[in-house]
Amino acid sequence: MITIINEMDRCVREKKRGILATVIRVEGSTYQKEGAKCFFAEDGELIGLLSGGCVEGDVLEHGKEVLQTGKSKKIHYDFRGEEDQIWGLGVGCNGAIEIFIELFDPVGHHERSKLMREA
C-alpha cells in the first residue's frame, strides 16, 4: 500500500490524475480479499494487484473510461463457471470479485483525493 500512496503523492505534486481500484466484495477462492487496491496514474503504470493477474488488464480499460468521464464504476468478475475459463486461465481464480474504480484527481477534487490517500 505504501507504493500506491507514494504514487498518489507523485500525482499530487505533478498535478496528474489517476484511478484507484479496490476489491469491495469476494466470493469463493480469490487471490486477494476485500480492501486490496491498485492504482494507475494517467502517465504511469499499474501499481498493486487485485487478482493473480486475471483482471488487471481489463480493469485498466475500465479505468481509462473513468479517467475520461470522471464517473466511478463497479465491475464484477465471476470465474466459477466453465464458460469463464479464459479469465481464470486455470491459475487459481476460482471465485468472484467485485471491484470499485474511482477517479483520483488532486486538482479538481483535492479533498476527496486527500481522503483517498489516507484510507
Cell digits of residue 118: 489516507
Query: To which residue does cell 496514474 refer?
Result: 41
* pTM, to two decimals: 0.87
pLDDT band at 88; cut points 50, 70, 90: very low
Q: Where are the beta strands (DSSP E) in the chain?
A: 18-27, 37-41, 46-47, 73-78, 96-104
pLDDT digits (tens, 9 = 90+) for 36-63: 999 999 998 889 988 877 788 899 999 9
Per residue in 98-108, pLDDT tens?
999 999 999 99
Q: Parse the chain into domains and list their residue ranges.
A: 2-118
Give me the torsion for CA of 23, 28, 32, 36, rounded to 10°.
20
